[in-house]
Every structure is written in C-alpha cells, then in structure tokens.
Amino acid sequence: MPDVSAPPPRRRRPPFRGLRVYGFDPSLNWKLETALINQIVLQVPWETGPDGGDLIGPVGEYLEVIDYDPGSGCFYEPVNLDDHFLLAQNGLEPSESDPQFHQQMVYAVAMTTIRNFERALGRRIFWSECGKDQDYRFVRRLRLYPHALRQANAYYNPEKKCILFGYFPASAKDPGNLPGGTVFTCLSHDIIAHETTHALLDGLHRRFIEPTNQDVHALHEAFADIVALFQHFSFPAVLRHQIARTKGDLASQNLLGQLAQQFGQATGTYGALRDALGKVDPQTRKWKPHEPDPNELKTATEPHKRGAILVAAVFDAFLAIYKSRVADLLRIATSGTGVMPAGDLHPDLVERMAKEASMSASHILSMCIRALDYCPPVDVTFGDYLRALVTADIDLVPDDDRRYRIAMIEAFRRRGIFPEGVRSLSSERLCWEGPPGDMLADFERLMPAVQELQALRPDWSLTSDREKAWKQMQQSARALHRWLLCEDGKTLGRCVGLALDADAPPSIERGANGLPLVEIHSVRPARRMGPDGQAITDLVIEITQRRRGYVNPARQEAVDSETLSPLPRADFQFRGGCTMLIDLETRQIRYCIGKRITSESRLEAHRRFLTKQRDGSLHATYFGDPRMRSEAEPFALLHRPL
Amino acid sequence: MSRKTAKKSPPAPGVRVRMYNPGLGDCFLLTFETSGAKRPRHVLIDCGALATAANDERLLRVARHLAETTRPEGIDLVILTHPSLASVAGFLRAGEILAEVPIGEVWAAWTEDPHDPAARALERQRAAALAGLRAAAAHLHAAAHPSAELLDPLLGIFGDPQEGGPTEARRAFETVFRSGAAKRFQAPGDRPCPLPGVPGVHVYVLGPPRNGELERPGHDREEGLVLGEETAFFLAALCAQGQAMDGSEKDLRDRCFPFERSLRLSVEEARAHSFFRQHYFDSETSWRTVESEWTGCASRLALALDRDVNDASLALAFELPDGRVLLFPGNAQEAQWRSWQRLSWPQEGEPDPVTLSDLLHRTVLYKASHHGSQAGTPWEDGLARMTHPDLVVMVPVDEAGSREGHARGWDFPFEPLLERFEEVARGRVLLPDCCLPDRPDRISREEWKAFEDRSKCEPGLYVEVTIPFEEKPP
C-alpha cells in the first residue's frame, strides 16, 4: 500500500508489528518460576485494515476478529492496534480482564501460525472456499470469535470458516486454577495455534475432514498439535529458560513438549491437556515419559489418542536430530566426558543449544508443513504422510547430510507406523513414485505443451493478491478440466487411475452427459531445490472423483452391474483421486500419488471402517455414528469427547 | 390364555422371570415359588416405556395382565430402578389399573429418599441441569439448529414437567410412594437383605454408590449450585430464554460474565457501532454469524445427564437358595459397574467375603442394562465374567423398540453386544416380542430342549423363563 501522506524523507512501512502475548497461557503467570518467561512479543507482518485504514478488530488480510459473546448477549469493543499508545509499546499488556488484549492475542498467534505455513510452502495460503459443487467462492478471511462459547472447548467450524473459542469458570475442585476464575481458551497459545492449523489444513485439503479411515481425523489432530508444539521453540526466552532448567535434556519433562496446561488442569487431567513426551500418572500424580509401543497404533482408534502417536513420533525425530546437533557442543563443554558439571550451564552454552533446538524445530515444522503438498487428496493415512514427509524433504534437501529423514523414518518405525505396499524403509523406497518407465514417453506426448502448462501456474508469490491468485487457480482448474475430457487427457487420466469413460462403474457419480464427474481440486505451485541448488517450481494438481458407496456389498455389486435404476441412495460417499506433481520445465510427472476410485479393496476397507468398528459410545447410541453422516461441525465433538 | 397363565404356578420351588413388552422400556415380573410359602410371591421391577401412543396402549395391556396375574394378593414388592419414563411411566399411564393392585413394599435407590440430604442435593442438581437443558433446547429450536432435533428425544426420557413442577418420571415415583406401601431406600451395604416372603433368597444391593461419585461437576453437596462449566452454561441458557431465576442463581449468573459490565456492549449498541455493522450485521456475511453455536454443547451435557441418571440406577443381584444369581442392574453404566468392584459382603463362617466376581460367576440370568447399549454392559469387568453354563440374557428391547429408538435417531440394542450375548449365553438371549430364539448349531438338541422346556412366550406381550432351584434344608 503506497504511503501518500508523508512529506520527504519517505519512511517505509515497517515489515513487522510487535504484539505482546502470553507465551503459553495465563496459568504460567501464577508461578514464580515461569512468570518471567510467559510474556513474549510476537513479530507479526505489518498490515492495515481492509480499506487501508487502522487495523481495528483486528480485521486484516487473513483474519477477522469479531468479539461477540452470544452466551452473555453482548459484544466487546474492538481493539485498534494502530492506536499511538499501543504502537509504542508492542500492543496491550497481557491481561485476563481486558477483552481487547484477548483480541490482540488470538490475532497475533493465528498470524504467526499462518506465517509459518507461508514460509514453509513459499506461497500464499487460502482458506477453504465456501459454497458447494462448482459454485465455490473465495473466502478472504478466517473469522475468529474469541468468546463465542460458554464451555471448555474451542473448535474450527468449516461451514462458517470460523474458529469459536470458549471460556468457562474453573471448577472449585481444581487445585491449579483460581476456583470460579475464568479460563479463556483464546488466551492459550496452543489452542489458538491448534485451531488455526485445522483451518489451514482444511484450506489445503478439503477432504481431510471426512473420516474415511481411522487415520484421517487423527492426522488432522496430530498435525494441529505438531504445529502448536514446534511453535514453542520459536520463543527464544522460553527456550533458553527450559534448556537451562533441563540442562539441555529436552526429553525430560518440560514446558516445550506440553500443550494447553491451564485447560488441561481445569478439565481434570492433572497437567497439560496433551504432552508429547510423557504424561502424569493419574494415580501417583508423577510424570513419566512415554515408551514407544509399536502395538499402540493397533488399539488406539479415537482420533486424539491415535494422533498423539504420530505427534510422539515426530517429536522423537526432533529430539534425535537435536541431540545429534548438540553432541559436539556437549563434548566441548564437558571436555569429551559427556558428564555435565554440577550447577547451571554456562549461559553461552545455553544460548548455543537453544539456537540448535530452535533450528531443528523450525526445520521439522517446515518439513511437516511441506509434506502436505505430497499427500493424496483423499483418504490419507499415517503411512502416506510418512512417505509425503520423506518425498518433500528429498525435494528440498537432496542430500540428507543431517540425517533428518533417517531420524524421521526410525521414529515412525518405533511407533509402528508403516506405509502400505513398501518393500523397505529406506528413503528411496519411501519416496513417492512417478509413472512407470514405459509410460514416460506416452506421458510426454500427452502432456499439454510447456507454454500451456506454464500458463496454468498461478502467481502465488508472497506478494501477490490472494483473491487474484485464487481466481487464477480456478481458471487453471477449468482449463485442466477441459483438457482432461479430451482424448489425450482421458488417456493420461486412465494411466493415473482416474475413471473417465462411459464404461466406468455406474456407481461413480456422473454428470449430465453420462460421463463420470471429475473435480480439479487444486492447482498450485510448490517450490523445491534443483540438483544445483536452484529453486524450481513444480505444479501440484489434485484431482478427485466421487462414487456411491453401499454398506451392503451385494447392493454395490448390483449397482455396478447396471441392474438397478434409478440408483438407490448411497450409504456413504466414497472418494478417489490423485495428486500429481509436474515439473514445469520438463513436463515430467514427477510423482503421482493416487487413491484409485475403482479400487474395490479400498472401497471394502472404507466399508469395514464404517461398519466393523462399530461405535458403541453413548454419543453414537443416541445421536448416531458420526462417520455415517456429514456433520456441520466435525471438530466440535472431536475436541470434547464424552 | 392369560387366565391360564395366571393360574398355572411354576413347578415349585423356583422363580419365573417374565419380561413384558411395553415398548422401549423395562417391565419385569419375578414370581417366586418356595415350599415354605403358601402362595407365589410377586416382585415387579419397573414398569415403563417411552411416551408414545402405541406404548401407552401396550402399557395398559401389560398393566391389565399384571393385575390379573397377581390377583388377589397383588404385588409383594415393587422395585423402581431410576426416574426415567422407560422405567416408571406405567404407574401414571396405566395408573388406574395399577392403583387397584395392592403393593406390599416399594424399593427404590437411596437417591430417591426425600429425607436424605445428599439425595436431595443430587435431585436439585439434576433439576437445574434439566431446566438449563430445556432452555437451551428452546433456544436451539428458535434458531433451527440441527442439534435441537437430537436433544428433544433425550430430554423426553424424563417426561415433560407440569407447570415447572416435577417431571413425569418423578411424579410416577410419587404415585407409587403414595400407595401406602412400606418404602425402603436401598444403598450398597455390607450384607445382603432378605427378600420379603421368600425364605432363602437374598438381595445384594450393588448400587448406586454413596460416596459422592454421582455428583455432577460444578455442584457441591453442601452448597448446591456452585460455579463451574456446566452451571455457567445452564444459567446462560436460562438467561437467554428470559426465564426466571432465584437470588442465588442471579448472583451466580453475574459471576459467570467474563468481563466488567462497563466493557459490555449490548446488541443494540453493537448494531449502532460502525465496526460491527460492517463486519457482523452485514447481510453479505450473515452466513458466518454464530447465534446458536454456543448452545450446541447442550447435546453433550444432555448425554452426561442421561448417563448420570442411568448410573444412579438401583442395581440388584438376587441370590437364589442354591447360590445362583439373577442380575438386574437397572440402566447402570460404566461408572456404576466400576464402583461395584469395591464392594464385598462378609459371610458368616467363611474366610472370604462375597465379591462382584463371585456374583457374576454365579449369574444365571442377566437383564441387559440400558436396552443393550454398549455403555450399559462392560466386557472385561462384566459380561466376560458371567461364565455360568446356564446363563440366560434378557434384553428389554425388541425390534419394535429398536425401531422406536431409531425414529428418535437412537441405536438400541448395540448389535455387536447382542452377538456377544449370544456367544456367552450359548444362544439363550431373549427379546420381549420375539418367539424363542433358534438353536445355534453348536448347541446340542438336549441342551436346547431343556431351555425350551422352561421358557415360554406370549407373542407381543411377554417372554419368560423359569429357573427352578433347590432349597437349602432349614
């Protein structure tokens, strides 16, 4: 935005705006040990209000904070972050009793999370669009309601594209909180980051809110926790403090591995809501570390429990990397003995170790976020995610000199997470594959000419206008859609597992012309490093299809053998599709990550997931099995299972 | 047919357990024959069904049959397990018929004792929760929120309150209490109590537990309502519906506001505020408003209330003279089953006390808790330990009942649990309106014949099984 008012000398707009927030949540202010490190200043990209005026609300480019409290029947005056006094002191001082500080905090933490995504992906992020079937509309801002619920809960609502934060009085029996004092979920860094990540992930993979196997929702939860956890490591004062306290051993109990302390205590878990490193035994009230158990994955079905396994695996990988990175420092500090001297660590050592921890954490976080571009568009599993992690990392850091990939693969293996159909757990094997060699020539012939492909690439650089970029993507998607329906496109589509012909199984949803429907879900650029260190942009294309699923296999059979007309109502929606990464220079399909719509075994697995593992919880008894219907608020319950 | 049944006495000595079919609800008549007693003794456990026109008809039919069966002496003991329509509606809906039946004694859980302060506190807590939930439901209806449709049937379990007074389920209790029969409020104790008029049969009271486990969060035995997550929600719901509150409720509500009064902008003020006019009250973005979302958690709280009321069921184990056990857990849920583990009953002249494990091992008749929901019957500490070769399971929900549930969006019984029942009870699983089940292939003809000989069914009205027992020498 050009600055028009200023007489010379012209001043540039500062890149960042400092905003004070609680590092974790207000409960750390009540302890002498942690009170000092609990206030931090986040550097948030400088932005103006929607009409170029003051940043009020705050309502900016990505977020709009609307402070409506329907449970109390009132609104709270929006904060003006461009107020002189606030600009001069990094925003409002942290306070539980000032709603305007709450607005500032949700804004600052959510913006920080968004920025981490944009940095990792190298492009602008979008929220998931609103509207249905072909009539999608751009959603510029995610809406945040800091005080929308009167309950111990906060969730992302994908229909309304908003996050609702709750507040509640701490119960009298809870020793940690002030009895009757209010606990605000919008003052917890972890809860804000977690929910914002749900929204970001939904923006990237709209179908990941559909539980088609037991990993999908678990991945949503795990990923949201991973982002919240690794953001802790970007707070230097906290990191230094915790490294000094644990003498550099980040595997012992420490604040960095814990999520939502105050919320956890107020809802009766005797500690943080979740802890990546260990947990407090409810009987002894003593903290003990998690032991990796490869069988745990087989028994855990509840999304949070299952997600916690993935989080623990990623955290293990982080610890292994951190340990290897500080090994030399420790040798120097202990003259090679490895035995720490009594007393505190030297502040310089703490500083250096903190730097290593923060570097490792930021790499891991980027790796996890970048992996999202390498996931199948539907029906993702933990195994797919591991392959995506490895592939994404190979693309960014071709030689694994720091052994990140090995650390990641080992950590996953120790938790029993294996991809299907992979013969060994080496990075080469885990890396996604392109089309088979004998098809390569065909592909090159079939792919649209380079110029056409180049034209499909939307301009998503970090300075572009988001709505324009989104519209470009829609155009590219339409162009690609047209091409897919021509002969060349169809041939190619068949090769990557799409069903595009009239003779495809009748249960695959058709358009008016009787041909199977196909949806271009996304066309977006992804950056990677070429072999000479040059940045290369690939095109990520996601294509999906729908098919009517029936719980009864005989009925499915009948529908597919064209003996039923009209088609009976589907019991569930079965989806398939693929993610393709295309090198724009060479027109090569580098990876093709598919979930075949015609796969009977996958259809059967989906059916089994819906029927065999019946949900006997009281919730399912009275309100029905949530897997069998699409819910308006899939996350509302996920966050507070009864 | 029914007259004949009434006249026919079970081959003495023994007990005939009859499961009536009142719809989605419980109604069990236990008739004991002992050589010492001149006449059979009748024990009625619950008589209720969810409120529908068809069920009211069924209840009338059941009540008439009950009256006839127990004529002229009437019912020796009525046991009311918990205050929901599915267990007590018959005493109101077929009240005229049942009022004519003399009742010897009434047993209910300690939680129903009008003179027990802890029970009264609990009752106030539940009433407050119910009032809050009803207000929330009204709010959700006004906003056409989808969860309103889920909430209504669940709250319907308690029956509508009359003019802000007690719920229908509560009034049914009062009706029975007023009948003049001797009342006993049961709690788990250290010895089983004798079954009146039936020498040699003892009743172990398993629950509801007494030590504060049933209290809802945010409530306190002494103080009643205290500040907590639920209280704050319920009060806000009452307030949003403009319902009356008493002084202490108002005081609590004021403490639930998160910020000082001076910081609040009323909705009118906000409408006049340029920021909110542009960003919230704008017609373009009206699809993103959140007027009713905050009440959405009512469905979770309603589930919790339902669970807690079920968990406060009077759960009984009848020990026959030969040591075998009939287990009637009411609608006990996981928390109550867990509490049973701590119970033990010292025996005279025996070194080891009786424990839950003993009782489960000796169980020959199990009334499935909570219409066969998974939450009602735990596997490890429950069904898996019922190892008696004679075990019969009665599941008080049939196809019609399950359809009735489905109409409300409910899923009773839980199919995988039914399969487990069939496995554990070797096929002897009785549903109220089915004819007797088919013989599973793995069961011998002789074994099945023995079962068939002692069971009987009157389609649509009841199924029954007779359990003969040996009396101990006096």
Residue A97 contacts B where some CB pair is shorter than 8 Å: yes
Residue A78 contacts B where some CB pair is shorter than 8 Å: yes
Residue A303's contacts (CB-CB under 8 Å, 6 or more residues apart) are: A211, A214, A217, A218, A220, A221, A638
ipTM given for this complex: 0.87
Query: CB A169 to CB B229 under 8 A?
Result: yes
Residue A147 contacts B where some CB pair is shorter than 8 Å: yes
* Set of chain B residues whose Cβ sits within 8 Å of the Cβ of A70: 240, 290-294
Q: Are A617 and B333 in contact (CB under 8 A)?
A: no
Q: Which residue of chain B comes nearest to A56, CA vs CA?
A: B275
Banded pLDDT at B454 (limits 50, 70, 90): very high
Q: What is the pLDDT of residue A136?
A: 82
Residue A592 contacts B where some CB pair is shorter than 8 Å: no
Q: What is the pLDDT of residue B1?
A: 40
Query: CB B232 to CB A130 under 8 A?
Result: no
The whole-angstrom separation of Cα A361 and Cα A359 is: 5
**What φ, ψ does residue A294 adopt, rounded to 5°?**
-60, -15
Calculate the CA dihedral of residues B213, B217, B221, B223 and round it to 10 degrees.
170
Which residue type occupies A102?
A: H
The whole-angstrom separation of Cα A575 and Cα A557 is: 17
Task: Name the residue among A66, A636, A640 with its Cβ closest to that of B280.
Answer: A66
CA A370 to chain centre: 10
Residue A613 contacts B where some CB pair is shorter than 8 Å: no
Closest CA of chain A from B8, distance in Å: 40
- DSSP sequence for A370-415: HGGGGS-SSS--HHHHHHHHHHHHHHH-SS-TT-HHHHHHHHHHHT
Residue B161's contacts (CB-CB under 8 Å, 6 or more residues apart) are: B130, B167, B168
Question: For B41-68, what is the mean pLDDT?
Answer: 93
The whole-angstrom separation of Cα B203 and Cα B456 is: 26
Closest CA of chain B from A209, distance in Å: 19
Q: Give a three-class secondary structure readout of A293-354.
A: CCCHHHHCCCHHHHHHHHHHHHHHHHHHHHHHHHHHHHHHHCCCCCCCCCCCCCHHHHHHHH
Closest CA of chain B from A515, distance in Å: 34
Identify the three-state secondary structure at position B356: helix
- B386: pLDDT strictly greater than 80: yes
What spatial distance separates the first Cα and last Cα of chain B, rounded to whole Å?
Answer: 37
The whole-angstrom separation of Cα A91 and Cα A485 is: 54
Residue B257's contacts (CB-CB under 8 Å, 6 or more residues apart) are: A72, B264
Of A114, A104, A105, A109, the closest CA to residue A141 belongs to: A114
Identify the three-state secondary structure at position A436: coil
Query: CB A616 to CB B287 under 8 A?
Result: no
Lookup: tokens for B459: 């389609």
Task: Name the residue among A98, A167, A642 with its Cβ closest to that of B304.
Answer: A642
Query: CB A68 to CB B270 under 8 A?
Result: yes
Please count the CA atoms within 13 angstroms of the CA of B231 that sit on its side-chain side: 29
Query: CB A171 to CB B218 under 8 A?
Result: yes
Closest CA of chain A from B413, distance in Å: 9
Q: Count other Cβ atoms within 10 Å, centred on residue B122.
A: 24
Which residue type occupies B138?
A: A
**What φ, ψ does residue B76 adopt, rounded to 5°?**
-75, -35
pLDDT in tens, B205-254: 998 998 766 665 555 555 556 677 788 888 888 888 887 777 777 888 88
Q: What is the pLDDT of residue B415?
A: 86
Q: What is the pLDDT of residue A288?
A: 81
Lookup: tokens for A486: 């021509």
Residue A184 contacts B where some CB pair is shorter than 8 Å: yes
- B357: pLDDT strictly greater than 90: yes
What spatial distance separates the first Cα and last Cα of chain A, rounded to whole Å?
Answer: 49
Q: β-pairing, A287-289 with A278-280?
A: antiparallel
The whole-angstrom separation of Cα A69 and Cα B265 is: 10
Lookup: tokens for A223: 């990923």
Q: What is the pLDDT of residue A641?
A: 38
- B474: pLDDT strictly greater than 70: no
Which residue type occupies A115?
A: R
Q: Are B90 and B45 in contact (CB under 8 A)?
A: no
Q: Which residue of chain B comes nearest to A100, CA vs CA?
A: B263
Q: What is the pLDDT of residue B3?
A: 42
The whole-angstrom separation of Cα B42 and Cα B53 is: 28
- DSSP sequence for B260-318: -GGGEEEHHHHHHSHHHHHHTS-GGGGGG--SSGGGGGHHHHHHHHHHHHHHT--EEEE
Residue of B288, B295, B406 to mutate, interface with A, max A Cβ within 10 Å: B288
Q: Count other Cβ atoms within 10 Å, centred on residue A345.
A: 20
Of B394, B468, B465, the closest CA to residue B425 belongs to: B394
The whole-angstrom separation of Cα A207 and Cα A378 is: 6
Q: What is the pLDDT of residue A640?
A: 46
CA A492 to chain centre: 31
Query: CB A632 to CB B146 under 8 A?
Result: yes
Query: CB B220 to CB A172 under 8 A?
Result: yes
The whole-angstrom separation of Cα B427 and Cα B439 is: 7
Q: What is the pLDDT of residue A277?
A: 81
Q: What is the pLDDT of residue B207?
A: 85
Q: Which residue of chain A comes nearest to B410, CA vs CA?
A: A622
**What φ, ψ does residue A86 adopt, rounded to 5°?**
-75, -40
A212: part of which helix (H) or strand (E)? none
Query: CB A616 to CB B239 under 8 A?
Result: no
Instruction: Give percent of chain B with pLDDT exceeding 70.
Output: 94
Find residue B43's DSSP bridge partners: B30, B77
Q: β-pairing, A154-157 with A79-80?
A: unpaired
Q: β-pairing, A154-157 with A162-169?
A: antiparallel
Residue of A82, A150, A267, A639 to mutate, interface with B, max B Cβ within 10 Å: A150
Task: Name the residue among A74, A161, A616 with its Cβ closest to that of B414.
Answer: A616
CA A152 to chain centre: 22
Residue of A95, A151, A161 to mutate, interface with B, max B Cβ within 10 Å: A151
The segments of chain A whose pLDDT lies below 70 read: 1-7, 132-134, 171-180, 268-271, 437-451, 453, 458, 460, 462-463, 531, 613-614, 625-642
Based on the number of CB atoms within 10 Å of its own CB, is A46 exposed (0-12), middle (13-18) or buried (19 or more)?
middle
Question: For B306-331, what is the mean pLDDT?
Answer: 94
The whole-angstrom separation of Cα A450 and Cα A455 is: 8
The whole-angstrom separation of Cα B259 and Cα B346 is: 56
Residue linked to tokens 């997600």: A307
Closest CA of chain A from B263, distance in Å: 6
Task: Name the residue among A68, A77, A179 with its Cβ closest to that of B290.
Answer: A68
The whole-angstrom separation of Cα A306 and Cα A300 is: 5
CA distances from A576 to A247, A539, A602, A631, B99 (A): 50, 20, 9, 20, 64
Q: What is the pLDDT of residue A94?
A: 94
pLDDT in tens, B171-204: 999 999 998 899 999 999 889 999 998 989 999 9
Q: What is chain B's length?
A: 474
Query: CB A71 to CB B236 under 8 A?
Result: yes
The whole-angstrom separation of Cα B44 and Cα B90 is: 12
Query: CB B417 to CB A75 under 8 A?
Result: no
Lowest mean pLDDT among A297-311, A586-600, B401-415, B429-443: B401-415
Residue of B140, B252, B290 to mutate, interface with A, max A Cβ within 10 Å: B290
Lookup: tokens for B413: 């019984």
pLDDT in tens, A218-249: 999 999 999 999 999 998 888 999 999 888 88
Residue A409 contacts B where some CB pair is shorter than 8 Å: no
Q: Which residue of chain A comes nearest to B371, CA vs CA?
A: A621
Of A394, A444, A400, A388, the closest CA to residue A583 belongs to: A444
Q: Are B119 and B110 in contact (CB under 8 A)?
A: yes
Find residue A42's DSSP bridge partners: A19
Of A430, A208, A185, A214, the closest CA to residue A307 belongs to: A214
Task: Name the residue among B240, B280, B411 with its Cβ closest to that of A620.
Answer: B411
* Set of chain B residues whose Cβ sits within 8 Å of the Cβ of A98: 259, 263
Residue linked to tokens 């000082």: B260
**What φ, ψ does residue A80 adopt, rounded to 5°?**
-110, 105
CA A604 to chain centre: 28
Q: What is the pLDDT of residue A440?
A: 66
Cβ–Cβ pairs < 8 A, chains A and B: 178
Task: Name the residue among A164, A184, A642 with its Cβ closest to that of B303.
Answer: A642
CA B147 to chain centre: 24
Residue of B285, B297, B338, B421 to mutate, interface with A, max A Cβ within 10 Å: B297
Q: Which residue of chain A comes nearest to B417, CA vs CA?
A: A616
List A residues 550-589 in contact with B (Cβ-Cβ < 8 A): none
Question: What's A8's DSSP letter?
Answer: S
Residue A430 contacts B where some CB pair is shorter than 8 Å: no
* Set of chain A residues whose Cβ sits within 8 Å of the Cβ of B263: 76-77, 98-99
Residue A622 contacts B where some CB pair is shorter than 8 Å: yes
Q: What is the pLDDT of residue A270?
A: 62
Encode burial over B192-214: b for 16+ CB neighbours within 10 A, e otherwise: beebbbbbbbbbbbbbbbbeeeb
Which residue type occupies B42?
A: H
* Set of chain A residues whose Cβ sits within 8 Å of the Cβ of B409: 622-624
The whole-angstrom separation of Cα A57 and Cα B324 is: 70
Q: Which residue of chain B comes nearest to A638, CA vs CA?
A: B300
Query: CB A74 to CB B288 under 8 A?
Result: no
Question: For B34-46, what is the mean pLDDT?
Answer: 90
Q: Count other Cβ atoms within 10 Å, centred on residue B418.
A: 17
Query: CB A150 to CB B294 under 8 A?
Result: yes
